[in-house]
Amino acid sequence: MKDATYFERVIHGLREAAEKSRLEPDPEGALRHITHWARVVLGDPDAGKRPGGLKPGERDFKVSGIFFVTPRRDQLMLMAEHEFPAEQHRLKISITDSRPGYTARTGEPVVASNTDDDPMFRQILKTARMGSAVFVPLVWQSEVLGVLNVAAQARNTYDTKDLEIAILFANLAAATWIALDGPNYLAAQVPAS
């Protein structure tokens, strides 16, 4: 059960994401506000302090971004990310790869409260394995455009309530992406092959 401060934090984050994103002319710039606020407000901020939350050598941090389905629908490309290494900007993975690929193919949102217990989870972040993650599709007119991903190194950071709220962030991201002609922006980022 989430306490009142969680919902106050989420409402504030959704409001800030909407207000800041609608001022941006660039689709990825707009979505960076949404992924930023999703990373800031979702999850249990004390998960890393609980027994078993972090393994030796791990630290309490979060990442976020959107894995967009490329025009050929065979790959996902990371965009609007936070706390990923710079060299992973525009990272491409197969649409069949692990949790992001599963969500892109099926349109099913998923929360992996403890990724150690999720056989489909694979480390994508170059610098660390995340312990808890949310994967939510961005859907427009029944088509999956991409996958919003918010992850924390601390296990049990996210639960089903965070998944429900992440869907609101993903819906805002999908509408913003379409409004700012994101599909054409994405097509210009993907080299023709």
The helix/strand/coil state of 62 is strand
pLDDT score recorded for residue 102? 97
What are the b/e assignments for 48-75, b being 16+ CB within 10 Å?
beeeebbeeebebebbbbbbbbbeeeeb
Q: What is the mean pLDDT of residues 48-77?
A: 96
Cβ partners under 8 Å of residue 46, min gap 6: none
> Total domain count for the chain?
1
- CATH number of the domain to which 71 belongs: 3.30.450.40
Residue 118: phi, psi to the nearest 5? -110, 105
Q: Say whether pTM exceeds 0.85.
A: yes
Predicted confidence band of residue 190 (pLDDT cuts 50, 70, 90): confident
Answer yes or no: are the C-beta atoms of 127 and 174 closer than 8 Å: no
Q: What is the mean pLDDT of residues 168-172?
A: 98
For 90, the domain range is 4-189
The helix/strand/coil state of 138 is strand
Q: What is the mean pLDDT of residues 97-124?
A: 95
Q: d(Cα 176, Cα 97) in Å, to the nearest integer?
A: 26
